[in-house]
Amino acid sequence: LSLSFSSSPHVSMVSPLSMTSSTLIETVNINLDDFSDTFLTCSTCLHIFDEGDRRAKLLSCSHSVCLSCLEQLAALPQNAGRGLVRCPLCREECLIPSGGVSSLPASFLINQLRDVLLRQRRDVVPSCSLHPQDGLLYCESCDHVFCPNCDQVNKKCTGEQHTVIAFSLALKRMSEIAQYRTQSRIGALKSATANVNTEIALLDHNVDKIVDQINATFQEVSHVVESRRRQLIEMVRVRRDEKRKVLRDQLESIQDEKKSLEKELESCSVPVRDVARRAKRSLVSDARLLEPKENAFLRLNTDATQLIDHIEQALNGYGTLSASTTFPGECTLEETTKACVHTNTIIVLRTADVDGRRRNSGGDPVNAILTLSGEEEGGEEITPITVTDNGDGTYHIVFRVNSAGDYSLSVSIFGRSVRNSPLPVIVSAHQSMLWEAKADFNQPVRVAIAPNHSFYVLDTGNNRVRLLKSSGEVQRDITASCLEGGSAVGMALLPEGAVALLNWKTRSLSIINEKAQPVKSIVFSEFQYPIDLAVDERGRFLVADTLKVFVLDSSLRPVFSFPANDANQQQKITCVAVGIDDDILVGTTTSLLLFDGGGRLQRKISISPSDSTTGCAVTCVATCPLSSRIVCGVVDARTNRAELSVSSYKGEFLFRIDSKGGRLRRPSGLALSPEGHVFCVDHPTNSLRMYKFR
């Protein structure tokens, strides 16, 4: 048994020694028994100090003697009555207090050493079988124990950067580390106990609330039932009283008639003829009096069995109890797309149970809050957050911010954070391209989305309309005579798979069915340079010409036309689209204008920031009725830079989609999806691209 001292300068020595490019830390070990015999044993009686009769007392000469020895010394004849005792070690006379030797001060140092030794953990340190007298060494670099006198083993730790210490010291360090980890674990278990107790308290509180809710509901039901019971009883009693009144009136009539007859019999003053006449009349009245004018029939018309069944069904259908096996510590947050300003950012929350199995049902109380990174948790919420329960164990957490930066999304279930909460979210100031399809296009100019989510792309350079699946895979091509010459500039989808096509060279508007067979076609002489085509909800055709917009009915008959004027400034028209409630959006070389269905100007739509000093030409435009947003392709007149501009339907400019990482060069056609995506055909790059606009 040994006690290792590594820091006390009085009992140990630590010195680094060079061992073939290794570092050796040498410590001096002192035997516990030797230490006790030297410092913790009374020099007079040779007994170890304790807390009883052998407790250490400090004399004025600074020597320590046990209480038992001092009492014996004080009782000697030569010391009796003197109040002095001679130290058995240095023979110096020491004064005894008035309270006796027990009043001498305790030896603080001896008691402290005893406490240290009592608390000291005595470890059995293994030794080398060949050299049991020498202590083993421990190499921290190799995690290896060896004997310094065994050459073969010692050679394993002779490399560079080796730190060697005594094995007994290593055991002590490991013991301290184990104790620290154990204490940390105990602290964690205490916290876990508190958390579980808190959850139990919350569970009991929720149960109490539910029980109160159930009691209140059934108390209300009881009031309704009791009220109806009283109504029915009152109704029966009222009807009884009505019948009883009729019968009582009849009884009174009978009694009056009876008294009248008895009175006549007593007087005998009525002539015989009159008596006979009265008796004859009384036969009829007696027949009425003998039969009650009312009856005792009363019946409650109801089906008690059906009523009980209905009540039982209603009660059985009331009060379904929802519970959850979700374990927040196993739930994860996942960022599906890159977050950017002005558009919805969707974070997917995937729930799991305590064993890590994915859940396939929803209903959990999910709470989410978005804060700027660096703010304390629980700070002020930056923007409203929408949590959508998908019903399959996943939740969509949707938010939108207008400033780029680093954010932190904290999500909790049952008030407990999920595994990777808070989730860092980096919101970019740029809207990058999300998807691209290059299907051998040659100068594509228009795109439309069919109800089955397939794409119709007017591929003018190839004289065709190419159909793509939602994945971008080519489905089939539509070719027709109205597409020849590379001069088709407008396209609109019609019901039952029909397609309307506008050709600027022939100045014709044609309709073909889903089999590419011609259905109807007109050549309008008033067309000068037709540029775009749209169809509203009423089936009217809107044809954008250079200076006018022509409106044709569903039979391709002209209805009216109107110019695109803004503040009496004549502009060239570049595109046309259908707005909300069959409004007409007209893009020009300098602005975007909104007209009503009759061609009357409503307002100008702002397509540039308020501090912009250069004008922009609108190349294409589309409207999203769900969000009341307008998306248009714009080209800066000074820099010739192409972007997508997003504005509100009221005319306010919102933001620009700069398409960083895959710049647009000339957006020529737009189509919007209900999911908030804008699909754009870019004429110079011969591609179909997808961006996010909300």
Six-digit token pair at 76?
């000697």
Mean pLDDT score, 498-516: 91
Are the CB atoms for 13 and 90 separated by under 8 Å?
no
* pLDDT above 50: residue 21: no
- Which amino acid does the sequence have at 564? A
Six-digit token pair at 592?
């975007």
| Residue 510 per-residue DSSP state | E
- Please identify which residue in the block is written with the tokens 């957050």: 385
Mean pLDDT score, 590-600: 92
Q: What residues form DSSP beta bridges with 617? A: 635
Per-residue pLDDT at 6:
38
* pLDDT above 80: residue 20: no
CA distance 676 to 172: 65
- Which amino acid does the sequence have at 102? S
pLDDT range class, residue 269, cuts 50, 70, 90: low
Per-residue pLDDT at 264:
75
Q: What are phi and psi of 108, to 5 degrees?
A: -65, -45
Per-residue pLDDT at 13:
33
Per-residue pLDDT at 4:
42
Six-digit token pair at 644?
């997508």
Which of 7-11, 266-270, 356-360, 523-527 is the least confident region? 7-11
| Residue 343 per-residue DSSP state | S
Per-residue pLDDT at 29:
56
pLDDT digits (tens, 9 = 90+) for 470-488: 888 999 999 999 888 889 9
Per-residue pLDDT at 151:
57
CA distance 658 to 691: 10
Six-digit token pair at 635?
């080209």
Mean pLDDT score, 168-197: 86
pLDDT range class, residue 268, cuts 50, 70, 90: low
* pLDDT above 70: residue 505: yes
Handedness of CA 357, 360, 365, 369 (dihedral sign): positive
* pLDDT above 90: residue 500: yes
Handedness of CA 324, 328, 334, 339 (dihedral sign): positive
3-state helix, strand, coil in the chain (%, to 5): 30, 35, 40
Q: Is 127 exposed, middle or buried (0-12, 13-18, 19+ CB in 10 A)?
A: middle
Residues 6+ apart with CB under 8 A from 416: 328, 329
| Percent of the chain at pLDDT exceeding 70 | 87
| Residue 496 per-residue DSSP state | G
CA distance 661 to 433: 7
Six-digit token pair at 495?
């019901």
Report the Cα–Cα distance between both ends of the chain, in Å, rounded: 76
Per-residue pLDDT at 532:
94
* Domains identified in the chain and CATH numbers: 2-170 (3.30.40.10), 202-316 (no CATH), 328-427 (2.60.40.10), 435-692 (2.120.10.30)
Angle at 114 between CA 111 and CA 119, to 5 degrees: 130
**Does the bond joining 422 to the residue before it have cis omega, within 30 degrees of 0?**
yes
What predicted TM-score, i.e. pTM, was given to this entire model?
0.64
Residues 6+ apart with CB under 8 A from 165: 24, 25, 27, 137, 138, 140
DSSP assignment of 400-448 equals --SS-EEEEEEEEETTEE-TTPSEEEEEBSS----EEE--S-SSEEEEE
* pLDDT above 80: residue 287: no
Angle between helices 32-39 and 108-119 (to 10 degrees): 160
Cα dist. 693→468, 544, 602, 659 in Å? Answer: 22, 25, 24, 11
Per-residue pLDDT at 431:
86
pLDDT digits (tens, 9 = 90+) for 413-455: 988 899 988 899 999 988 888 888 888 999 999 999 999 999 9
Per-residue pLDDT at 489:
93
pLDDT digits (tens, 9 = 90+) for 363-401: 889 999 998 876 655 455 678 899 999 989 999 999 999
| Percent of the chain at pLDDT exceeding 90 | 36
* pLDDT above 70: residue 459: yes
Longest CA–CA span in the chain (Å) reads: 165
Mean pLDDT score, 122-126: 61
CA distance 404 to 409: 15
CA distance 628 to 618: 19
* pLDDT above 90: residue 491: yes
DSSP SS3 for 88? coil
CA distance 653 to 228: 62
* 290 or 364, greater pLDDT: 364
- Please identify which residue in the block is written with the tokens 């954070």: 417
- Please identify which residue in the block is written with the tokens 């949590």: 387
Per-residue pLDDT at 468:
93
Residue 503's nearest CA partner among 518, 486, 516, 520 is: 486
Per-residue pLDDT at 593:
94
Per-residue pLDDT at 238:
92
Average pLDDT, the chain: 84
pLDDT range class, residue 27, cuts 50, 70, 90: low
Angle between helices 272-290 and 167-267 (to 10 degrees): 170
How far does CA 160 lie from the centroid of its chain? Answer: 53
Q: Is 658 exposed, middle or buried (0-12, 13-18, 19+ CB in 10 A)?
A: middle
Residue 607's nearest CA partner among 597, 620, 596 is: 620
Q: Is 532 exposed, middle or buried (0-12, 13-18, 19+ CB in 10 A)?
A: buried
Helix ranges (H only) for 6-91 are 32-39, 67-74
pLDDT range class, residue 1, cuts 50, 70, 90: very low
Per-residue pLDDT at 18:
38
Per-residue pLDDT at 280:
62
Per-residue pLDDT at 485:
87
* pLDDT above 70: residue 95: yes
